[in-house]
Chains A and B, each alone.
Chain A
Amino acid sequence: MNVLASIEAVPAAPAASAEAPAIRFDAVSKTYPARGRDAQVTALDRVSLAVAPGQIYGVIGRSGAGKSTLLRVINGLEKPSAGRVLVDGTDVVALDGGGLRALRRQVGMIFQHFNLLSSRTVFENVAFPLELAAAGRGAIAARVDRLLDLVGLADKRGRYPAELSGGEKQRVGIARALATEPKVLLSDEATSALDPETTRSILDLLRRVNALTGVTIVLITHEMQVIKDIADRVAVIERGRIIEEGPVYDVFARPRTATAQSFVASVTGSAVPEDVAEELSTQPIAGGRAVLRVLLTGAHATAPIISRLSRGADIDVQVLAGQVDRIGGAPFGTFLLAVPGRTEVVAAALALVRELGLTGEVLGYVA
């Protein structure tokens, strides 16, 4: 049974292919006139990026970093002050009225607070963008039913949004965003109002939709977990600038900026536990221990680090914190280890870490 006959029309494109980008930003800036005596507010500062067709592109930043503006210039909800935004080769900035409305039917959008029409049923909400595009009743019914099957809400078609849970509302939002068979799906903090379990199921659905239809997804979030779970590529935005950008695994493995490091630490267990951080000193303490951070990445992520240290080098190893998980199918982990703080022991431990092809550093010393 093929419930997706029509939304499969767009073939799934390989991520990060060499073809023309689905979305391109050329030095896009956006400033708002300031209220009062402050200088004007810069939401985007010469942002350039490219999103390949079929890619899931994550943008992460704290609130006020400019990610919301970045998303809204893609479908022309906001006009950049300078620069070009190309969606499927079309310059969004040059569009107006009808052209912009036509583009918006090619770009679906989902929201943190769902933004469903409370006076319409689930079915009528999903039908709404098709109604706006003046589609025929028969075509609407067939398409909406397929979409409700896809998002698993076929049995709720006659319910009103007030009768649904948050996760169900977002599923309706996703079905509605896909109704016009868009090439691009914009996700505005779509899981920020949901609990972790519901978040996972919504992210699973987005990934499935991406795989089935090849729709390019641009999502903004302040949660690194979301990036880790579904994005192929990530941009870290701060004060309107993209300060770091690349494949998700690379940014996780080697975050260069402090902001990226703290985002990565929030999900990989590379953050130093508070009680340890308080005691941490930069100088060795007689009879104390050294705290090492060991990164397990790439081909050597599965190296038997603990047993090699303890059995091979006869070093007592204490695990203070640690986590190993998968990013884009590749193992990735961080361990915080404590070893006896004598200089030669620390040197031996670091040498062994390097020998195993891993990266390690001394964070400090504790008693």
Chain B
Amino acid sequence: MSPELIGLLANSTGQTLYMVAVSASLGTLLGLPLGVFLATSGHGELFEAVALNRVLGLVVNATRSTPFIILVVAIIPFTRLLAGTSIGTTAAIVPLTVAATPFIARIIETAIREVDAGLIEASRAMGATPLQIVVKVLLPEALPAIALGLTLTVVSLIGYSAMVSAVGGGGLGDLGIRYGYQRFMPAVMAAVVVVLIVLVQGLQSAGEALARHVNKRTRRT
């Protein structure tokens, strides 16, 4: 492979990491409170708001059921509003974030719902406020599941990021399509695939190690 191609590969890897890192961070920032709310606003729960819970649940489901490639083009006006343009790597962060947020929200919601209801009761019995219960009980207890869920999200985002080549988003997927496929350069295609495998494998291992580290539920000797 020529030095130029290696340069392209490095550049594309950088673009992919940039898109995934920023959209995962923004998605977590937005998805965390949304997930906490979804998990605690049902009937008889800490922040009971059944109607709002239903509406948000519907919005989350609608976003999650839209195929990503359609979401990318459907929200082009919104992307242009936020990023000033609808093409390029930075612009691609908008649809990635829009897709990541409900995904992360559901992951957080599920992780929190797995926390033993007895802990909520015990905390209430000790005089905890609802906010204290979320911050000091639910999130720390759900942390191992949240860490694994976020790993899953990041891996999915790497896959999604390959599709934003449709709006000139760049990244590894774009490189693979334009050079590997359209210009028929199998070596580039292979290189793209290898880099993606290494990336996903590394992130998965790191995520699992983190989850193990924060999980105090299993007996260690």
Contacts and interface: CB of A to CB of B under 8 A. Distances in A.
Q: Are chains A and B native binding partners rather than an unrelated pairing?
A: yes
Interface of A: 75, 77, 100-105, 107, 109, 111, 113, 115, 117-120, 128-129, 131-133, 160-163, 176, 180, 186
28 contacts: A100-B127, A103-B127, A104-B124, A104-B126, A109-B125, A109-B126, A115-B116, A115-B118, A115-B119, A117-B137, A117-B140, A119-B140, A119-B214, A120-B140, A120-B216, A128-B136, A129-B126, A131-B136, A132-B127, A132-B128, A132-B132, A160-B216, A161-B216, A162-B216, A163-B219, A163-B220, A180-B126, A186-B125
A132 B219 CA distance: 27
Contacts of A107: 125
A244 B121 CA distance: 30
Contacts of A103: 127
Given A113-B118, A162-B217, A163-B219, A119 B143 contact: yes
Which of B118, B119, B216: most chain A Cβ within 10 A?
A: B216
Given A117-B119, A117-B141, A119-B140, A132 B126 contact: yes
Interface string B103-120: 000000000000010110
B52 interface: no
Interface string B123-135: 1111111001000
Contacts of B65: none
B6 to A, nearest CB: 45
Contacts of B214: 119
B141 A118 contact: yes
B129 A101 contact: yes
B63 to A, nearest CB: 31
B122 interface: yes
A132 B136 contact: yes
A105 to B, nearest CB: 5
B3 to A, nearest CB: 50
Which of B122, B143, B220: most chain A Cβ within 10 A?
A: B122
Contacts of B140: 117, 119-120
Nearest to A113: B118
Contact of A118 (B121, B129, B216): B216
Contacts of B220: 162-163
Given A109-B126, A129-B126, A186-B125, 18 more contacts: A77-B121, A77-B124, A104-B125, A104-B126, A111-B118, A111-B121, A111-B122, A113-B118, A115-B118, A115-B122, A117-B119, A117-B140, A118-B141, A119-B141, A119-B214, A132-B128, A132-B132, A132-B136
Nearest to A160: B216
Contacts of B182: none
Contacts of B124: 77, 104
B2 interface: no
Interface of B: 116, 118-119, 121-129, 132, 136-137, 140-141, 143, 214, 216-220
Contacts of B141: 117-119
A118 B144 CA distance: 11
Which of B127, B141, B143: most chain A Cβ within 10 A?
A: B127
A119 B218 CA distance: 10
Nearest to B221: A163
A273 B132 CA distance: 54
B75 to A, nearest CB: 38
Contacts of B219: 162-163
Q: Which 3 pairs, one residue from A and one from B, show the smallest C-beta to C-beta distance?
A: A115-B122, A104-B127, A101-B127
A128 B126 contact: yes
Contact of B127 (A105, A119, A161): A105
A1 to B, nearest CB: 29
A160 B143 CA distance: 15
B127 A162 contact: no
Nearest to B128: A132
A80 to B, nearest CB: 17
Which of A119, A129, A160, A162: most chain B Cβ within 10 A?
A: A119
Contacts of A163: 219-220
Contacts of A111: 118, 121-122
Contacts of A128: 126, 136
Contacts of B218: 162
Nearest to B117: A115
Contacts of B132: 132
B161 to A, nearest CB: 33
A120 B137 CA distance: 10
B114 to A, nearest CB: 12
A4 B126 CA distance: 21
Contacts of B129: 101, 132
Contacts of B123: 132
A109 B121 CA distance: 10
Contacts of A104: 124-127
B217 A118 contact: yes
B139 to A, nearest CB: 9
Nearest to A133: B127
B120 to A, nearest CB: 9
Nearest to B126: A129
B29 to A, nearest CB: 22
Contact of B126 (A105, A160, A162): A105
A102 B127 contact: yes
B216 to A, nearest CB: 4
